[in-house]
Structure 1
Amino acid sequence: MITETQKDLIKGTIPVLKEHGVALTSHFYKRMFTHNPELKHIFNMGNQQNAKQQTALATAVLAYAEHIDNPSVLLSAVKHIGQKHSSLNIRPEHYQIVGKHLLASIQEVLGDAATDELIEAWKVAYFQLADLMIGIEKEMYDQMVQNEGGWTGWKPFNIVKIVSETEEIQSIYLAPTDGGQLPKHTAGQYVSVRVYLPELQLYQPRQYSLSDASNGQYLRISVKKETPLGKPEGMVSNYLHQYFQQGKQLELTAPTGSFNLIENEHPHVFISGGVGQTPLMAMLEQLIKAKGQNAVTWIHGCRNSDLHAFKDRLRTLETQHEHIRCFSFYDELQEGNSDNLPGWVDLAKIDSDHLPQKANYYLCGPSGFIEKHFKYLTGQGIQTEHIHFEEFGPASLQLN
């Protein structure tokens, strides 16, 4: 157990973490990958190049130090990280390696300020957190295998169909190579995909939202090609577009994630940017399958009509179901698109009837997109507990 003296020592490092946290975590990752290069196969190296992972870890370490007296307030964030970890097949032995290099990094970065007492305090704190994470992730792995057709680790799937939704986004339909049963998944969840990238000589995992409701026949991910080619965060997505076709195999982990539909009598309001529409598409399909009659408003933004994936499907559903209403914002509004709105998504241009106080709001898109619309909604009096969001990549948003 951590002592009060050790807690005080950790709290004393808060100013340093605020000012030099990213420098510390950058040193940590460089050190860990030098001594344990096998972990490069587990971590998203694109997020190493753009510093998202270093920033996310620095934020997490700071939050833990700030709440060391009552870490239970971080339980929601810890569970979210646990879902990411279970989707990447993180195991207890990895925590030992991370702890070793994190403690060494603190000592090397702080120098003389890293007393034996301080390092021991952080050692106790880290392994206390690691034990919590390992326990949470064990529960998640247990739940995965308890689901009929579920599994842990990486499982091979056949690509049974590929559909080009736009020139940038393609949907990949996947079925288990062994012909086994698929587990039921909840709309809004995601899977991890692992491919071998020859240019890096590494296996690289990426997480993709499932873009269709659970159906027992296939899992569908919808992948956006990034431009220019070689952009760090687009390496796997571009590789899937370029080299994978029907009949090839992909390795997947089981569906996970807590960005799910809220089951109550209130309307649903989906707000998406670009490929952020994928988990919301699964949610809408789930609502249609369940024959739900909750009012649904979908507000989406992308560059132009030609790059609006699932546009025809949405138009069909809107025609068939009077409780569904869709609004589209296009940066490049072509002639004849009078039904759509010009520019970036601007919720102020949407009639307040479609943004009711008592509704379930779902935001998905880039972090700046989520933050902008979260602030707008709360500014209109929407309670934060009614606003749910999914941020792709390492968590960086601190919204409350």
Structure 2
Amino acid sequence: MTPQQIELVKATVPVLRENGVALTSYFYNRMLGNNPDLKETFNMGHQRSGAQAQALAGAVLAYAENIEDPSVLLPVVELIAHKHVSLNIKAPDYSIVGENLLHSISEVLNISMDDPLIEAWAAAYGQLADLFIATEKAIYDQHEQTKGSWLGWRNFKIAKKVVESDEITSFYLAPVDGGPLPKYEAGQYISVRVFIPELNLRQPRQYTLSTCPQADYLRISVKREDQKGDMVPGWVSNTLHSLPEGSEIEVSAPTGNFYLIDPNKRNVFISGGVGLTPMVAMLNQLVTLDMPQPVTFIHACRSKQVHAMKQHIHELKAKYPRLHTVTAYEFPHASDKLGEDYDFAGRLDLSIIDRALLPENADYYLCGPMPFMAAQHKALVARGIPAENIHSEAFGTGGVRH
């Protein structure tokens, strides 16, 4: 990009702050109208709620604000690149996005496609697209080199369903072709694609693999969503719950950059609700290594009725004295037993947890809803835990990753 183009892009920052969501909403309507096949790639629930337009507006603004040094955005680029790979997004797709984005800027701002601002944003978008394409190529190459992995979508059948709580069910997924499965990092995820009758479309969603690598199945643990007022419940999550054993779905290969970094280090897992799924996967990986270091497993949920995998954790704790657990029930039922089912009533408060369970030299893994994550991160920093030791993954409804 030329210095003049950089200045032109920077000059659009105030406009993006004020009207970014209007621009990205227009862009999505334009692109999906011109390319309806892409509706099976994008989350139409987030399209209807406006969440996707808001997220893109924030991303475009961040890019414009850092146009002189886009390298500061590399961690975010890597995060998004893994999701793009899980959705089988390829280099030609960036041309479609770019064309519609530039025309949207032209049409929303009522300027000619020959305007220098459009030329500047074309250069900016090309620079960003090249960054994503290169990052994603490295991930695709890794899949091609990993035994048992695959590119694109692969048919799996629901071999078994196991009810884990009143809301969460585990799905054991076996490849229809009977071929091998890859070894993946505990904490990574897959994309699942199913047909949604209400939309007359296939829709993808990302779900964490809820156990460490197994020879003949992948496992996800999905929360069923109830209708809340006019809010549309999770289309994919609820469709999965309705499918019987033996049903076939489409699955992408395991990917993602949130996973257990060092099994030989002290590790602390802190989860809220269905956010415990990557934590159970990481814990199960440590079990395969005979739990080399003490582990703290902290979980918060509403009550025993929605406490998934409680028995599994209880059995591991009985077998491994190095495993220390803390459970908080926000709304314990009268039948829930303090000291047996849970340790604290109310919201999780790390300030009252024994300091020995939260060592400064440990790696910390957080997963759950955004407000939960923010509260726990703040509490850990207040207790002297270095921010660089805190790793987080945000979940939305149904265990869907953001």
> If the length of structure 1 is used for normalisation, what is the TM-score?
0.95
Match of 2:267 in 1: 268
Distance 1:377 1:233, change over 3 A: farther
2:150 aligned with 1:151: yes
Partner of residue 348, structure 1: 351
Q: Secondary structure at the match of 2:186?
A: coil
Query: Structure 2 matches for 1:1-400, cutoff 5 A?
Result: 2-112=1-111, 116-228=115-227, 231-232=231-232, 234-242=234-242, 244-263=243-262, 265-335=264-334, 337-339=337-339, 340=342, 341-392=344-395
SS of equivalent to 1:174:
strand
Query: What CA deviation, in whole Å up to 9, does each residue of 1:132-161 have, x standing for no partner?
Result: 211211111111121001100000012111
The structure-2 alpha-carbon separation of the partners of 1:125 and 1:24, relative to structure 1 and needing over 3 Å to count, comes to same
Contact kept, 8 Å, 2:206 with 2:401, in 1: the verdict is no
Paired-residue identity, %: 51
**1:395 CA drift (Å):** 8.4
2:21, 2:52 → 1: CA distance? 9
AA at the equivalent of 1:303: R
| 1:49–1:232 CA contact under 8 A, matched in 2 | no
Q: What is the CA distance between 1:292 and its match in structure 2?
A: 2.6
1:205-238 deviations in Å (ceiling 9; x for gaps): 0000000100212100001100118954511100
CA apart distance, 1:265: 4.5
With 387-396 and 179-188 compared, the bigger mean Cα shift is at: 387-396
Q: Is the 8 A contact 2:207 2:401 kept in 1?
A: no
Runs (5+) with no aligned partner, structure 2? none
Offset at residue 59 of structure 1 (A): 1.3
Equivalents in 1 of 2:96, 2:251: separation in Å? 24
Structure 2 Cα separation of the partners of residues 392 and 111 of structure 1: 38
List structure 1 runs of 4+ shifted beyond 6 angstroms: none
Q: Read off the aligned partner of 2:345 and give its amino acid letter.
A: P
Q: Secondary structure in 1 aligned to 2:291?
A: coil
- Aligned partner letter, 1:277: L
Residue deviations 1:269-312 (CA, integer Å, cap 9, x gap): 11111101011110000000011321111111111112100000
For residue 350 of structure 1, what is the amino acid of its counterpart?
I
CA contact (8 A) 1:56 1:395 kept: no
Task: Specify the SS of the correspondent of 2:199.
Answer: coil
Which ranges in structure 1 are unaligned for 5 or more consecutive residues? none
In the alignment, the residues of structure 2 paired with residue 17 and residue 233 of structure 1 have an alpha-carbon distance, to the nearest angstrom, of 31
Instruction: Tell me if structure 1 keeps the 8 A contact 2:186–2:285.
Output: yes
Alpha-carbon separation, structure 1, partners of 2:289 and 2:207: 24
Deviations 1:4-61 (A, max 9, x none): 1100110111111122211211111111111111111100111112222112111111
Deviation at 1:391, TM superposition (A): 1.6
The alpha carbon displacement at 1:111 in A equals: 2.4
